[in-house]
Amino acid sequence: MSTAALLPLSETQKEKAVSAMCRMIQCRTISNLDDSLVDWSQFEAFRKLLRELYPHVYEAAEYFEIGKSGIVHKIAGTEHVPQHAQVLMAHYDVVPTEGQEWSFDPFAGDIVDGFIRGRGTLDTKGTLCACMEAVDNALASGWKPKEDLYLCFSGEEEINGASCAEIVSWFEKQGIAVDFVLDEGGAIVGNAFPGVSKRCAMIGTAEKGSVYMDVTVEGKPGHASAPPKNSSVGLLSKAVCAIEKHPCKTEFTRPAKELFSVMGPNNKNGALRFLFSNLWLTRPLVSLASKLLGGELYAMLHTTCAVTRASGSNAYNVLPARATAGINFRLLGSDTVEKAKARVERYAKKAAGKKAKVSVTVVSESNPSRESDTHCEQWDKLCGVIHKTWPDILVSPYLMMACSDSRHYCRITDKIYRFSGMFLSKEERGMIHGTDERISCDTLIETVEFYTNLLEYV
By residue range, what is the domain housing residue 348? 209-247+305-368
Q: Quote the mean pLDDT of the chain.
A: 95
Is 387 in the same domain as 397? Answer: yes
DSSP letter at 405 equals G
What is the model's pLDDT at position 82? 62
Residues in the chain: 458
Confidence (pLDDT) at 400: 95
Residue 74 exposure: Cα atoms within 13 Å on the Cβ side: 16
pLDDT (0 to 100) of residue 84: 78
- pLDDT tens-digit profile of 52-77? 999 999 999 999 999 999 999 999 99
> Is 310 within 8 Å of 347 (Cβ atoms)?
no
pTM, whole model, 2 decimals? 0.93
What is the enclosing helix (H) or strand (E) of 189? strand 178-189
Domain co-membership, 408 together with 280: no
- Whole-number pLDDT of residue 220: 87
Residue 4 lies in a domain: no
What is the model's pLDDT at position 397?
98
Give the residue among 422, 448, 440, 436 at the shortest CA–CA distance from 116: 440
Strand ranges for 335-409 from DSSP E: 357-366, 394-400
What burial class does residue 397 get, using C-beta atoms within 10 Å of its C-beta: 0-12 exposed, 13-18 middle, 19+ buried? buried
Tell me, what amino acid is at 107? F
Burial 304-333 (b: 16+ CB within 10 A, else e): bbeeeeeebbeeeeebbebbbbebbbbbbb
> Do 271 and 390 have their domain in common?
no
> What is the pLDDT, as a whole number, of residue 430?
93
Query: Does any domain span residue 387?
Result: yes
How far is the first Cα of the chain from the last one, in angstroms, to the nearest whole number? 6
Q: Which of these three, 333, 350, 368, is where a domain ends?
A: 368
Number of domains in the chain: 3
The residue ranges of the chain whose pLDDT is under 50 are 1, 3
Q: Are residues 111 and 224 in the same domain?
A: no
122 contacts 439 by C-beta, under 8 angstroms: yes
Identify whether residues 403 and 259 lie together within a single domain: no
152/45 same-domain check: yes
